[in-house]
Amino acid sequence: MPVDRSSLIPALTNVATRLRIDSLTSTSEAGSGHPTSCCSAADLVAALFFAEMRFDPKDPHNVDSDRFILSKGHAAPLLYAAWAESGAFDRSELLKLRTLGSDLEGHPTPRLPFVDVATGSLGQGICAGIGCALNARRIKSDYRTFVLLGDGESAEGSVWEAADVAAMDGLDNLCGLTDVNALGQSRATMWQHDMEQFARRWRAFGWHAIVIDGHDLNAILDAYAEARQTKGQPTMILARTIKGKGVSWVEGKDGWHGKAFKKGDELDRALAELDKQFVPAAGGVDLARQIPKPAAVARPAVTPKPIAPPTYKLGEEVATREAYGAAIAKLATADPRVVALDADVKNSTFSDKFEKVAPERFFENFIAEQVMIGASMGLAARGAIPFPSTFACFLSRAYDFIRMAAISGVGIKMAGSHAGVSIGEDGPSQMALEDLAMCRAEPNITVLYPSDGVSAERLVALAAYHPGPAYIRTSRPKTPVIYSNEETFAVGGLKVLRESANDVATVIGAGITVFEALKAYDQLKTAGMPIRVIDLYSVSPVDREGLVAAGRATGGRLITVEDHYAAGGIGDAVAEAVADAGLTVHRLAVREIPRSGKPDELLDRFGISAAHIADAVRALAGRR
């Protein structure tokens, strides 16, 4: 920046003081918040925003702007104060903090244009930062990504998953800042102010670690410059700070976490101290006017090419997990925004097909599902279309990330393979039986469940361009292709595979259970009991009208069958959809902890085979 340090340091001192004042006043007005956590990081943020980062406050989505992620999201008032200081919005808005009508929430969300991902569930920001940094490589941009962590959140395992992956990827465009203020919510943090403990760990994970006094602006600026010059590895700046810095009677004191200053004497006393910290020698330097904007780079609009259609033969046996791999490989050649992420199971999920055609957009996270989903969030926030995939059961390890992706509304397209007891001999630890419930619980996650190769390819393509997060459930066993290559699908749709005017019940399956329902149809038809068979490939949202129509046409007898636990899956989805039409649902599902065995044995043992479906139809129709 064109300001020498003799005038820059006083100006930054005043900015940091204003950030502290704004953090205190906004939280006191709200009656809640974390002002002391804001005060410890104010110098780091002041120097970052007004002497290091390149961004346009009026155009925060600029693709070449440096990115800032506040991983310690409880310090949100500091983030909002910095953006107000930069001119992004009027400072008076800060007094609406935490009110229903304001987007300045207690923890940041992308309702604000300058927030890439929701934070505040600690340990996630650094993972998203990896995605932002990888995206810079994808679009060949020189923007840098900065992530502010707390020392307390550094106990989270996801932080160290991120440390491993970022170092493995050599992300020298990623700079972390750890606010080591030594105090957590309930007690002192693990290592308090032992800075060497932090430095040793980050260096051991392959990062360039810099230890500084987090209130020395010269040292902070030097650290930013050193990080910018470091090549081949990410940097972690470890800043020794004081919680509550600037307000002498709370500095370094326990018991002030998440506690706003009371309006009146308490707040007035704190503000009086801060007012005395302004430096008259700042000389009227307006740092907000001197924020360097990113260089204007002409980037042509991305126009995806047509996606090659499926090329299967009716009756051909193909696993939907294999069709998933073929589908994302086709997307890779059609759209440069599509990326794939793996957790060391690419030869089982078949995402290795993507790697073969677009290795530069394939990101290996090894066995670290949290950072895989977190990095996907960062990639999606910056314009990529990420497909992270692993065994469906292992996504449960990353469920908090999935939850935060839903809050962020980012378009991650998750795929979980090896779902249900139908995987066979590997046993219950490998069987996802709660994944549909997990994803259906989030109101904006689209849940798709293909049954054959054609539907898998079509649904993957739909997921890629459908707004928001999506989950695609794939199966291990090979299943026959039942749809023509020209068949079309829709989010929120279903397919009626068998129907007649004399159907005695409707059986609704998805994935592997569609084929059990078709077997039951053949058995019952021979006995003069035709049934309607529905493939509920869109589990969330569901086709309410189609389900109600089928239920009414078949005497109100609706049977769901799913390779999933009873809670939260297909049965619940259908029951919720048809309840207000006066219809009830008979549910076949896995109702106990399963065990190893052959797929067909397990489907029968746990009550979701064709035989069990036929028995349920006979019982409901009164024809035993």
CB 143 within 8 A of CB 134: no
Question: What pLDDT score was predicted for residue 624?
Answer: 53
Q: Average pLDDT, stretch 449-467?
A: 98
Q: Are 261 and 270 in contact (CB under 8 A)?
A: yes
Distance separating alpha carbons of residues 174 and 227, to the nearest angstrom = 9
Question: Which position among 85, 156, 355, 369 bears the catalytic label?
Answer: 369
| 5-290 CATH fold | Rossmann fold (3.40.50)
Give the pLDDT confidence of 560-573 residue by residue, as tens digits: 999 999 999 999 99
CATH of 317-480, one of 3.40.1280.10, 3.40.640.10, 3.40.50.970, 1.20.1250.20: 3.40.50.970
Q: Is the Cα dihedral 18, 23, 26, 31 positive or negative?
A: negative
Which tens digit of pLDDT belongs to each residue from 476-529?
999 999 999 999 999 999 999 999 999 999 999 999 999 999 999 999 999 999
- Taking the model in full, what pTM does it have? 0.97
Banded model confidence at residue 623, pLDDT cuts 50, 70, 90: low
Burial of 100 by CB count in 10 Å (0-12 exposed, 13-18 middle, 19+ buried)?
A: exposed
Q: Is 316 a catalytic residue?
A: no
Stretch(es) of the chain classified as CATH 3.40.50.970? 5-290, 317-480
The H-or-E segment that residue 590 falls in is strand 585-590
- What fold characterizes domain 495-621? Rossmann fold (3.40.50)
Q: In which band, very low, low, confident or very high, does the pLDDT at 1 lie, cut at 50, 70 and 90?
A: very low
189/257 Cα distance (integer angstroms): 12
Q: Give the type of residue at 573.
A: A
Contact of 375 with 130, CB cutoff 8 Å? yes
CATH 3.40.50.920 segments of the chain: 495-621
Question: Left if phi > 0, otherwise alpha if psi is -120 to 50, otherwise beta: which for 622?
Answer: left
* pLDDT digits 0-9 by tens, 432-449: 999 999 999 999 999 999
Give the pLDDT score at 3.
Answer: 61
At 340 the pLDDT is 98
Q: What is the pLDDT of residues 231-243, one digit of tens each?
A: 999 999 999 999 9
